[in-house]
Chains A and B, each alone.
Chain A
Amino acid sequence: MGLTRRLQNKRVMGLAKEEKDLKDIRIGFDVGGTFTDGVMMRGREVLSKVKSLTTEDVTTGIVNALDVLLKSEKADASEIAMVSLGTTHTTNAIIERKNLNKVGIFRLGAPATTAIPPLTGWPEDLKEAIGGKENMFIVRGGKEYDGRDIVPLDEDAIRDACKKIKGKVDSVAVTGVFSPMIPDQEERAAEIIREELGDIHITLSNHIASISILERENSTILNASVINVMRTAIEALKKATKDRGITAPLFIVQNNGTVMAADYAVNYPIFTVASGPAASVRGAVYLSGVDNGVVVDIGGTSTDVAYIVDGFPRESSITVTIGGVKTNIRCPDLMSIALGGGTMVKTKGNQVIGLGPESVGHNLVRLGKSFGGPIITTHDIGVATDIIDEKLDIFDTDFAPCIDKVKALDKGLVEQAHQKIKETIEVAIDQMKTAAGDTKAIFIGGGAMVVPKKNLQGVSDVVSPSHFEVCGAIGTTIAEIGAYAEGIADLEIEDRDTAIEKVVEKAKDEAEKAGAIRDSVEILDVEEIPFAYMPGKREKIRIKVKGKIF
């Protein structure tokens, strides 16, 4: 499909700034399935932290956490310079098929592409929830890779379609063939749709994702379907912060762990679907100061392993399924394994015959050996091998009220289980590495305290930062804006540097729109992907950037 060459020497645009400490007070929230975490930060100092229950509407849980932080009186509302939020509003809406927009779907591509129409492979209930096939049109248009029209855009067909869907849809998704390279047909289509339907929200696919039309179109339609969900959430939070005397701007965490201004995020809710794990990775980086290595996030039932490159989670190259729909949204490359603090160690006599995948989960405090229960878990092996010897904040009780029971376990069995847990972690870390050699590993999450961390194969250093239990919330407060842009170049005509420069400018524009100071924007990655089987020297250029908010 093409070759990828990453430039080894990343060129930093503008001035490479020393990471200045963020002196201002920042507040961040990370909405999880069970808990909504919140932190109040000054620089790297955690002034106050909270774990509050996630509510069904999500927003109430966030506001509750906000109130706890403000009541800590570590800072006055007026001192707060930034409020940021990693949220599951959009993911939940898509998964539950709730409060979705009715979407008018336009594909610019006929006579090509008709073999596989939009919404192919979608779950029926989700199709229905966004208004179904009646609002879907494949109109003549689209681009070739070299910039020619497949055929000229059929503007009349767009107008006719608009007349049919007027009043039936409250959001529109437009996807044109090769629009990530040449967006002008999508932009023209948007103009026409606005003329016909007035002030309706339009999502253009070239703003959403990259080459691979079916997945990009799916991503675009999903984005259009959660516009209202995101808008409602942001309005509610803006009101809540304003009511509490906070004048600071609101930012929303996106899938790579950077943030975007709330008013920008309203247009790109789909960029938040994987923000939770990304925020944790960024928090781990921030707390540990390690910006290349692996992050091992160990919970009660499972462990997520992510690889960090220059402070950001590595992106997944495979399609990401959201609510049963294949997308090519850029998401962190995460590996989940069934190992957590509550994972069951299966035994036969004094032999260990298996590890998990079952976990006692939050019943650890009833079922685990350390707590007088019948089941041997990762936690108990940690207790037996003295890895954990102090009480954890997350447990109300002591870490091992029945320590005698654990100490009575067969030594050989404990050693076998210990080795098995250690190996499981080692293999997971090794699988996520991109090159041979040892790597640094940052351990976070509630289960991190009970697993072996010494002499891990392939690991040079283990870092266990403090405040790991609110890592995600801390990650939201880093105050960096992420953006990217793509372009296509013909190196037989264009100078390579000029071509790259052009895309860099585009990426900077996007970063600025998302809330970054333009001068602070630096390049994270330059990727050039030549087109295979093509004569000439055409390639796709993809630039990732980040910039600062203050």
Chain B
Amino acid sequence: MPGEKIFNRLKEWGIDNYTVMDKKSIIEMNLGAAILATGGGGDPEIGLLWALRALDEGKTIVMVDPMDIPDDIFVASPHAVGAPIVLTEKPPSYDVINKTIKKLENYIGKQLDAVIPFECGGVNSTVAYAAAGELGIPVIDVDGMNRAFPEIQMTSWAAQGINAAPAASGDERGHVTIVDTINDNILAERIARRAAMSYGGNSWLVSYPMTGKQVKDASILNSQTIAWELGKAVLRARSKHLDPVEEMLNSLKNTRNVNGKKVFKGKIVDIVREFGGETTKGFSSGRIIMEGLDDYKGSKAEVDFQNEWLNIRIDGEVKCMPPDLIIIVDSETGEPIRTDIMKYGYRGSVVLIPAHERMRTPKAIELCGPRYFGYDLDYVPVEELNNK
């Protein structure tokens, strides 16, 4: 019987509330994750097709609530590290994650009981689902950001002192690099990135091995449900001709109890790309300028990006800084506008969302706040920047 192994395990853990993901759920979740990726996260197509293929092959993908899992189970997070363009041209082998997980399991001497998604992104959310399906273990409804960020230490896990290492970085030929740094997640990031480059620009990293207890204490809880509900809301808005932006905000209010805010609607009139930024800093970086439309006519917004949207100034005033979320979506369809495919003339609505509180601790701000990204700014929460 398909999925027997998973269901036995859930029975063992005493879990009878779980979600079996079907194609529709994966598509909805993928859209929500791509929106929460704040302009980054790569092309959702590959992640989607990979997870859908696992379902096509009769694999079972089951998601469980983090609060239901035993404290002593052992989990880790599979995800891509490297250049999105390489992934677009060189999709993964179907077994690369399993093989890499096996190597990490051998190194640590323990088998994974479940996987945890790394971030919300078109590729890195669904990868965990595909891996869970392939391995016959559940995926836990959490992640380490509830958004996307470019480096592996920018997680709520790292902010709570959990190590990304030991981690295994694999490629499709079966090469594996074990990254076993000691309490130094930034060094782990550097080594993992070098390994990715050496393989050919992309790698599959299995990182943040941790216990069930740590998952509960340090993750963004129910991050997958948040993304899923968001995706459903936007698709619902499309089919019922509702305002997708409003539906997005309502959805996040329901799932996270946060008040996001639409702060701008406009058209991209200028894109300044910082040539060579990725060689010096490891990012695609630059700035866009948007000219206001409708209610925002006469206003101007400038948005900086380093793969993800980072900082927005409206008429010269800073309105949002990392780790708070800047989401730009097509005003009509709610489709996210990504930094890698945006063009002059795109029309979008800008929505600001407070980051999860686990991404706002002093340690988290140190790891992914404005100063880490090179801004001479102290972090001010988005609510305070927009309370006028």
Report A's interface with B, CB cutoff 8 A: 1-5, 109-117, 120-121, 142, 144-146, 148, 150-151, 177-178, 211-214, 317-318, 326, 430-436, 530-537
User: Known contacts A114-B94, A115-B91; can you find 6 more A-B pairs with CB under 8 A?
Assistant: A2-B340, A142-B90, A212-B88, A531-B83, A533-B84, A533-B284
Q: Which of B49, B84, B86, B267 has the most CB of A within 10 A?
A: B86
From known contacts A3-B275, A436-B269, A530-B278, infer whether A120 and B53 are also in contact, taking CB-CB under 8 Å. Answer: yes
Q: Which of A112, A214, A318 has the most CB of B within 10 A?
A: A112
**Are B201 and A3 in contact, with the CB atoms below 8 A?**
no
Separation of A178 and B284 alpha carbons in the complex (Å):
21
Return 15 A-B CB contacts under 8 Å, by A number.
A1-B341, A113-B92, A113-B93, A115-B91, A116-B91, A121-B49, A211-B85, A430-B267, A530-B276, A530-B279, A532-B307, A532-B340, A533-B82, A533-B282, A537-B279
Residues in A neighbouring B102, C-beta threshold 8 A: none
Residues in A neighbouring B267, C-beta threshold 8 A: 430-431
In the assembled complex, the CB of A516 is this many whole angstroms from the nearest CB of chain B, namely 29
In the assembled complex, the CB of B64 is this many whole angstroms from the nearest CB of chain A, namely 24
CB closest residue in chain B, given A211: B89
Whether, in the assembled complex, B217 has its beta carbon less than 8 Å from a beta carbon of chain A, the answer is no
Interface residues of B in 338-355 (CB under 8 A from A): 340-341, 343-345, 347
In the assembled complex, the CB of A355 is this many whole angstroms from the nearest CB of chain B, namely 16
Q: Mark B239-280, 1 if CB is under 8 A from A, else 0.
A: 000000000000000000000000000010110011111110
From known contacts A111-B172, A533-B82, infer whether A178 and B89 are also in contact, taking CB-CB under 8 Å. Answer: yes
Residues in B neighbouring A433, C-beta threshold 8 A: 345
Residues in A neighbouring B45, C-beta threshold 8 A: 214, 326
**Are B273 and A3 in contact, with the CB atoms below 8 A?**
yes
CB closest residue in chain A, given B130: A115
**Are A212 and B89 in contact, with the CB atoms below 8 A?**
yes
Whether, in the assembled complex, B286 has its beta carbon less than 8 Å from a beta carbon of chain A, the answer is yes
Select A214's contact among B49, B96, B282, beta carbons within 8 Å: B49
Q: Which of B49, B50, B286 has the most CB of A within 10 A?
A: B49
Separation of A434 and B347 alpha carbons in the complex (Å):
11
From known contacts A116-B91, A150-B173, A531-B85, infer whether A5 and B275 are also in contact, taking CB-CB under 8 Å. Answer: yes
**Are B85 and A532 in contact, with the CB atoms below 8 A?**
yes
Separation of A532 and B173 alpha carbons in the complex (Å):
23
Separation of A542 and B343 alpha carbons in the complex (Å):
17
**Are A213 and B91 in contact, with the CB atoms below 8 A?**
yes
Select B89's contact among A177, A317, A431, A435, beta carbons within 8 Å: A177
Q: Which of B45, B277, B347 has the most CB of A within 10 A?
A: B45
**Are B278 and A532 in contact, with the CB atoms below 8 A?**
yes
In the assembled complex, the CB of B300 is this many whole angstroms from the nearest CB of chain A, namely 11
Residues in B neighbouring A436, C-beta threshold 8 A: 269, 291
**Are A434 and B307 in contact, with the CB atoms below 8 A?**
no
**Are B340 and A1 in contact, with the CB atoms below 8 A?**
yes
Separation of A113 and B46 alpha carbons in the complex (Å):
10
In the assembled complex, the CB of B20 is this many whole angstroms from the nearest CB of chain A, namely 21
Residues in B neighbouring A114, C-beta threshold 8 A: 92-95, 172
Residues in B neighbouring A213, C-beta threshold 8 A: 88-91
